[in-house]
Amino acid sequence: MSTPLNKIIFNEIEDRLSNVSTENGYATTFKRIERGATKPFKSHDLIAVNFWPSTLSNENDKYNRDNRSIQLFFQVQSKTMDEPFVDVCDRLGSDLVTGLNRSTTAPLVSDVESDDLGELVDNFIFNGYDYQVGEGQTPWCGILAKFTVVYSTTLNNMTV
């Protein structure tokens, strides 16, 4: 059975996010990681990450290769605690970007960057994030980060 290329990329992303922890030198530990979850996180799940693709683009080049890009969104949420929510959000953003740029075999903040998802992609581009804050009985804050994954494959190939 063949595996869709996108699933392999998403698996690598999920594995990298699972290494974001204070033990590995990050400011936070991601307690829960979801792929395309539709239900909101509960307070006990936080700090949590949900990521999903929104668009897959494809262009054929003159060498009969498909050049693709996938737009990915990452929602990272935490409790606001007693700090300004923007400070918490910036820590979440830093941990997210750093964690995604460390390999699963070298996940420490101090390890060498691996910005091509272990040679799975041609480019993994951080496009920024929006701040989020929620009120009520259990206030939370977070970010909605945007990335672009760029890769190429043989013409009309969707699997490995």
| Averaged pLDDT in 10-residue chunks for the chain of 160 residues | 90 98 97 93 89 95 92 94 90 98 96 94 97 83 97 85
Distance (Å, rounded) from C-alpha 107 to C-alpha 40?
Answer: 28
Is 63 inside a domain boundary?
A: yes
Residues 115, 120, 122, 128, CA torsion sign: negative
Is 148 inside a domain boundary?
A: yes
Q: What is the pLDDT of residue 69?
A: 96
Is 121 inside a domain boundary?
A: yes
Is 159 inside a domain boundary?
A: no
Is 160 inside a domain boundary?
A: no
Distance (Å, rounded) from C-alpha 57 to C-alpha 77?
Answer: 28
Q: What is the pLDDT of residue 1?
A: 66
Is 88 inside a domain boundary?
A: yes
Structurally, the chain folds into a number of domains equal to 1
The CATH number of whichever domain residue 53 belongs to comes to 3.30.70.1700
In a 3-state reduction of DSSP, which class is residue 27?
Answer: coil
**Domain boundaries, position 62:** 5-154
